[in-house]
Amino acid sequence: MNEKLFKSIKNAGSSTLTLGILTICLGIATGVLLIVNGAKLLASKADTLF
């Protein structure tokens, strides 16, 4: 009985850890893309006309 419980807890922990790592990677990638696009917008600020 205890072995089943420990196995299910282990599986839940490993899947949660995997999802956490994926979330961190996606967050970093999104942040880098936002910074790059913002820098491009600032570089072409002189070309904009309102």
Answer whether 0.95 is exceeded by the pTM.
no
Tell me: the pLDDT tens digits for 4-49?
889 999 999 999 999 999 999 999 999 999 999 999 999 998 887 7
Predicted local distance difference test score (pLDDT) of residue 31: 98
DSSP 8-state symbol, 46: G
For residue 21, the one-letter residue type is: I
Beta-carbon-side half-sphere exposure of residue 36 (alpha carbons within 13 Å): 6
The 10 Å CB-count burial string (b at 16+, else e) for 4-41 is: eeeeeeeeeeeeeeeeeeeeeeeeeeeeeeeeeeeeee
